[in-house]
Amino acid sequence: MALNFQDLNDETRRFMTQEIQLDKENDTFYRSAFLTDQGKEIWPTLLEESIAHNDDWLENEIQRRGLLAQFYTRRRPKSQELMQARVPVTAAQTLAEGEFNRLFVRGLCARVIAEGGREVEAYRARYSEHPRAESEAIIGKKFLAADVLKDLRDNPGVDSVLGLPPGPNSGISVKKIQ
């Protein structure tokens, strides 16, 4: 089920498109180890196409186009040794939701700044029956849009310094402060 993006509209989508252009210029797209080589190659285009839709659309396209690998390389727990692990069955949803949300947050923060605003507020964009404590703690907090934007631009596809959004499957996003 798609995240409930409160400020996802034509204006925010315009700023999301500008963020994609910035990633194209600097080749700073996150290409997940869960993606096939073809998936990694077309990821920038697919993410750009998703701006006209939502994270559900992106998830469906990842699956429909067969862009997920069967295995990926990861480190063994408590070791430096590498191993092959099966790509999780939830990979398409996790990747689509997380990367669309990051792009949305970047676009919204850029929009807030352009409109003369300073802050965004974290909120729950997806219902969770068993929410993590760290996710619950962030709801309602206000963040400087410029700091969040810089953080997400500087840390593609990895945990951000500010912890916003707070990791995969958190269901947390941001909204404009009214």
* Residue 1 in domain: no
Q: What is the pLDDT of residue 161?
A: 58
* Residue 5 in domain: no
Instruction: Give me the number of domains the chain comprises.
Output: 1
* Residue 59 in domain: yes
Could you tell me the pLDDT band of residue 42, with boundaries at 50, 70 and 90?
A: very high
Q: Which two tokens stand for residue 41?
A: 């190659």
Q: What is the pLDDT of residue 128?
A: 79
* Residue 3 in domain: no
- In angstroms and rounded to an integer, the radius of gyration of the C-alpha atoms of the chain is 16
DSSP three-state, residue 136: helix
**What is the CB neighbour count within 10 angstroms for residue 100?**
26
Is the pLDDT score of 164 beyond 70? no
CA distance 71 to 68: 9
Q: What is the pLDDT of residue 165?
A: 64
* Residue 108 in domain: yes
pTM for this predicted structure: 0.92
For the chain, helix (H) and strand (E) counts, in that order, are 6, 5
The model's pLDDT over 57-104, given as tens digits with 9 standing for 90+, comes to 999 999 999 999 999 988 888 888 998 999 999 999 999 999 999 999
Q: What is the pLDDT of residue 160?
A: 67
* Residue 68 in domain: yes
Is the pLDDT score of 153 beyond 90? yes
* Residue 64 in domain: yes
